[in-house]
Amino acid sequence: MTAAPKTAPTLVLVGHGMVGQRFLEELAERGLTATHRVVVLCEEPRPAYDRVALTSYFTGTSVDELSLTDGAFIDAHGIELCLGDPAVAVDRAARRVTARSGRVLRYDTLVLATGSYPFVPPVPGSDAEGCFVYRTIEDLLAIEAYAASGAAVGAVVGGGLLGLEAAGALQGLGLTTHIVEFAPRLMPAQVDAGGGAALLRAVEEKGLSVRTGVGTQEIVTGPAGAVTGMRLSDGSELAADMVVFSAGVRPRDQLARDCGLSVGERGGIAVDEQGRTVDDPRVFAIGECALAADGRVYGLVAPGYAQAATAAAAIAREESAFTGADLSTRLKLLGVDVASFGDAHGTTEGCLDVVYSDARSGLYKKLVVGRDGTLLGGVLVGDAEAYGTLRAFTGAVPPVPPESLVLPSGADGGARLGPSALPDTAVVCSCHNVTKGTVRAAVTGHACTTVREVGTCTRAGTGCGSCVKVLGRLVTDELAASGVRADTGLCGCFAQTRQELYEIVLALRLTGYRQLLDRYGREEARGGDGCEVCKPVVASVIASLAPTIGASGYVLDGEQAALQDSNDHFLANLQKNGSYSVVPRIPGGEITPEGLIVLGRIARDFGLYTKITGGQRIDMFGARVEQLPLIWRRLVDAGFESGHAYGKALRTVKSCVGQTWCRYGVQDSVRMAIGLELRYRGLRSPHKLKSAVSGCARECAEARSKDFGVIATAAGWNLYVGGNGGATPRHADLLAQDVTDAGLVRLIDRFLMFYIRTADRLERTSAWLERIPGGLDHVREVVVDDSLGIGEELESLMAAHVAHYADEWASTLADPDRLARFVSFVNAPGTPDPVVGFVPERDQVKPDLPLLSIGLRPAQDVLEGSAPR
């Protein structure tokens, strides 16, 4: 992008948080970064990051993954980003800003996005060693380091949103955790007394201790000055090694105060509906530091984004105004769904409450309804499935009686309002203020056919994500209303989906591709040979169900052999020069010295290139096809078996060393990883499967980047599903918490078989979880709650797989007919493939490929400065 001219007006943004970054994006969309010099003064040492998802750092999200921007955006728009150099003074008369470094900037427009700071009650000892706040990444790093130094008991002051997140983080770090809340209930700003009671029960069931209705009088310290406990307002004392203050935030308005700008009685820089400060039209304030024209300081990100857009529009001389915002929220705290919307506390005169409460199930739902039937607001605890639709109906009269809307899913009389019932003016994405009408227009006017495409077009669903489910139904309904019906068949041979073919194979016990094609293929495909899409899919389905339907478990028997992907043809990974790699299974990454010696000798004797993989295995490259059985014989004799690196199957279950060796470990992760890998080895699935087990919340095994990952807790195991690395990384979602060994295995059995049963062709668990109707909530209902009543069936399918597992390498070696296929030339079995060649590199070998003939130079030549040959 062309940089702004040197004579361009200067816009200085003070603060680079979530709202500050959104403001920059709004400037860029309007072309203002090309007409203005834009300078950002940022206090933190890193660019904007997702503060809403801050706690996910403790469950495996990296600091980089939390980032909301990158150097490419900053550079492309010519933005001068000054990290670690906040503004310390503003001279409005001279229109100058002074940074902490001493740098002085003259501005034409100044935008304050300084956010808020955590409130620490003025109690003695609050600055002692072991006291922390919970606001920035640096705060989290400090908490993590202190917990690792030996802290055993933590206390959180504050039972609001961030307080509960902080408590969950401390518990995840292995600390016994207490919550102290001055109000009579948890999350007093979001939920009412009934919702608070339900939330309290759910939180206590997670193993946290909660004290409500008491305040902190003093932080007690020991002789060394470090925290040893707390003295509370009721006279009791609480032992603790660490205290985290999360008692609310206050607007960061000191910079504005110092330069004479008006602030509210309780803080916040006073602005008008365009975001301009009431005292100076050249100065704007947005986000948590701003006192909006309606007299409110908004502490949520969605109003901040709206203020950022309004201020950018005003600078661009567009008509825009911020007149208020939706304060609805949907959260998952400690695994508990919590949502509130509209007038959740019932402050509207004459309003009525409709309440459903089930203490045993941890459910609480309340709707606030006007006397004319208008839905005014509500609170949902334990089940927030209907949040998106109910929030969109707020301010309108729903087409069904309100009492029917609070009944749980499946209850008699419970009405199910679909998004199609919403008016076009209903806001379905509050983060970006996107209406149903806008979504419909994206489908009909811009040919969007997926939620992702609608998000690209409208931004809907790209904020907190709570509206994605509603968006999915809107897109589907709109496509159907437009008469668009996509062919959902697997390919030109089958009109059925992969899931439907799975059910046919299972129900009819079909063991061959030809049977399936001739009976259920499209008419024009019957009698043919099939295609390269459906053949490996059917092969995988038959392999997955082999023990149950009576098929051979050996994938190269009979008709099955012709259906396999290229790697499966020889039970090894085909490499770029025509050779193969051999990857023996090393469960959990655990291997004896003798095992290492065996692998070393095999690699040496066959001249193989060796590499340790990212999945804690040893890969040996360069085997000719006729050498594979010889290599396998030595491996099998030494106790090794196929690692299925070539198949759409379980690859590895990675592990850290866990409590056996690590001083932070809380469970035996190696034992669990080995058990899981040996249980699910050889399981054929729609796509490859990867797993990991971490022995504590520090997550050294990277379990949350796996299809199913396990993280140890003091009370058991947390199970995460739907993660992956690759081109589109996705962190896994929490499916179940603090489960036992047996409970963990049962849930993984069900999860994997449900995935195999319902996923599409070549669909990773991550994409499946985002596509399947109902998403994670539905999967949890099926897998954990057994809502479909198929839990035992899924478990029996897995039990059959486990009972009939046989190593494919050993099975090949035991059968001369099977061995006969492992030759380069069927008419000259003893002749090696002359195309397969190698050259030396770094004391090993590499494929002999004609790199220079296509203009490439070997990396070693470049590193050593060699001239082209």
Q: pLDDT tens digit string along 25-55?
A: 999 999 999 999 999 999 999 999 988 888 8
Q: Pick from 211, 126, 213, 214: which is nearest to 177 by CA?
A: 211
Helix (H) or strand (E) holding 432: none
pLDDT in tens, 510-538: 999 989 999 999 888 888 888 888 888 99
pLDDT at 290 over 60: yes
Distance CA 580, CA 588 (A): 24
The helix/strand/coil state of 581 is strand
Residue 300 is given by DSSP the state S
Q: Which of 354, 382, 417 is the endpoint of a domain? A: 417
Question: Computed over its alpha carbons, how large is the radius of gyration of the chain?
Answer: 31
> Residue range 64-85: average pLDDT?
90
> What's the CA gap between 722 and 730, in Å, rounded?
8
- Of 215, 247, 279, the position where a domain reaches its end is 247
Checking if the pLDDT of 1 tops 90, the result is: no
* Closest-CA residue to 408 (of 369, 378, 365): 365
Looking at residues 496-523, what average pLDDT do you find? 91
Element (H, E) at 119: none
Least confident of 270-279, 414-423, 628-637, 702-711: 414-423
Q: Mean pLDDT, to the nearest integer, of 289-298?
A: 93
Does position 115 have pLDDT exceeding 90, yes or no? yes
Residue 437 lies in a domain: no
The mean pLDDT of the chain is 87
806-833 average pLDDT score: 82
Question: Residue 435: inside a domain, yes or no?
Answer: no
Which of 485-494, 746-755, 771-780 shows the highest mean pLDDT? 746-755
Band the pLDDT of 6: cuts 50, 70, 90.
Answer: low
Phi and psi at 563, nearest 5°, equal: -95, -15
User: Is the pLDDT reported for residue 413 higher than 50?
Assistant: no
Please give the average per-residue pLDDT across 730-747, as a whole number.
94
∠ CA 771-678-500 to the nearest 5 degrees? 30
Is the domain of 275 the same as that of 302?
yes
How many C-beta neighbours within 10 Å does residue 850 have? Answer: 7
- Any idea what the Cα angle at residue 306 is, between residues 304 and 310, rounded to 5°? 115
How confident is residue 245, by pLDDT bands cut at 50, 70 and 90?
Answer: very high
256 with 289, same domain: the answer is yes
For residues 186 and 209, membership in a common domain is answered with yes
Percent of the chain past pLDDT 90, that is, above it, reads 53
Residue 691 has pLDDT above 60, yes or no: yes
243 in Cβ contact with 279 (< 8 Å): no
Among 758, 779, 806, the domain boundary falls at 806
Helices 498-508 and 741-758 sit at what angle, rounded to 10 degrees?
Answer: 110
For residue 493, being part of any structural domain is answered with: no
The CATH number covering residue 716 comes to 3.30.413.10
3-state helix, strand, coil in the chain (%, to 5): 35, 20, 45
DSSP 832: P
Would you list the DSSP string of 756-805?
A: HHHPPTT--HHHHHHHSTTHHHHHHHHHTS-TTS-HHHHHHHHHHHHHH-
Domain containing residue 333: CATH number: 3.30.390.30
The answer to whether residue 141 is domain-embedded is yes
Which residue, chain included where needed, has tokens 């947390």?
Answer: 718
State both tokens at 1.
């992008």
Question: Does the structure show a pLDDT above 50 at 504?
Answer: yes
Residues 110 and 256 in one domain: yes
| 295 & 218 share domain | no
User: What pLDDT was estimated at residue 799?
Assistant: 95
Per-residue pLDDT at 485: 63
Q: How confident is the model at residue 414 (pLDDT cuts 50, 70, 90)?
A: very low
The pLDDT of residue 361 is above 80: no
Residue 417 is predicted with a pLDDT of: 62
Residues 290 and 381 in one domain: no
Q: What angle do CA 473, 477, 479 make, to 5 degrees?
A: 120
Q: Quote the domain boundaries for residue 726.
A: 649-806
238 or 483, which is more confident?
238
Q: What is the layout of strands, in order, in the sheet containing 237-239?
A: 216-221, 227-232, 237-239
Tens digits of residue pLDDT in 777-819: 999 999 999 999 999 999 999 999 999 999 999 999 999 988 8
Does one domain contain both 373 and 344? Answer: yes
> Does pLDDT of 411 surpass 70?
no
* Mean pLDDT of the 616-642 span: 94
Type of residue numbered 82:
C
Confidence band (pLDDT; 50, 70, 90) for 399?
confident
Work out the average pLDDT over 836-843: 85
CATH code for the domain of 305: 3.50.50.60
Do 386 and 356 fall within a single domain? yes
**Model confidence at 836, in pLDDT bands (50, 70, 90)?**
confident
The pLDDT of residue 4 is 67
Q: Is 725 a residue whose pLDDT tops 60? A: yes
Helix (H, G, I), strand (E, B) or coil at 502: helix
Q: Which of 62-71, 221-230, 457-466 has the highest mean pLDDT?
A: 221-230
For residues 284 and 407, membership in a common domain is answered with no
- Percent of the chain past pLDDT 70, that is, above it, reads 92
pLDDT at 850 over 60: no
Q: How many domains does the chain have?
A: 6
pLDDT at residue 867, rounded to an integer: 34
**Residue 207 confidence (pLDDT) above 70:** yes
Q: Average pLDDT for residues 704-723, to the nearest whole number?
A: 94
* Res 865: pLDDT: 38
d(Cα 166, Cα 240) in Å, to the nearest integer? 15
Which range (56-60, 709-713, 739-743) has the least confidence? 56-60
Q: Is residue 492 part of a domain?
A: no
Residues 461-474: what's their mean pLDDT? Answer: 73
Reported as half-sphere exposure (CB side, CA atoms, 13 A), residue 279 has a value of 14
341: β partners:
378
The answer to whether residue 536 is domain-embedded is yes
pLDDT at 545: 93
Is 577 among the domain residues? Answer: yes
User: What's the pLDDT score for residue 779?
Assistant: 94
Bigger pLDDT: 190 vs 692:
692
447 part of a folded domain = no
Average pLDDT for 714-731: 86
The predicted structure's pLDDT at residue 350: 87
Shared domain check, 218 and 256: no
For residue 660, what are its two tokens?
């056996």
Q: What is the mean pLDDT of residues 434-439?
A: 88
Q: How confident is the model at residue 146 (pLDDT cuts 50, 70, 90)?
A: very high
In this structure, the answer to whether residues 665 and 766 fall within a common structural domain is yes
Same domain, 608 and 678: no
